[in-house]
Amino acid sequence: MTRARRHAARLVAEWGHPAFADDAALIASELATNAVRHARIPGRLFRVQLTLTKTRLRIAVSDPRGERLPRPRHPSPRDRHGRGLLIVRALADRWGVRERTVGKEIWAELDLTSSSTRAEP
């Protein structure tokens, strides 16, 4: 997850959107963590993909477990896990799940036009 986080932050900054780098890194990390923790199949990989258009940044993580769909939880303050999708939902302008032939893709989008609401590093 560290690698996904660092790569996302670096790539988004290189693409000219440093104000979105931290949010993109955290989203990529949370989605990658969920893929490892909840959708892992030995010998199968997951994929993190970032896509940039003129108006949005999309972070997508594909995994091989299409039958295990994500659900945001409401953990107690003492729970050590279970906040990943809540974080994604709070940071992203949109998020969702897309079925694939094998597995699923969980994606989140950040609207680049909302940069005035994001703090510059």
pLDDT at 13: 97
pLDDT at 48: 94
β-pair type (56-63, 104-111): antiparallel
pLDDT at 121: 47
Specify the pTM: 0.85
d(CA 120, CA 116): 9
Q: Splitting the chain (121 residues) into consecutive groups of 10 residues, what average pLDDT does each group show?
A: 90 97 96 84 85 97 82 72 85 94 93 65 47
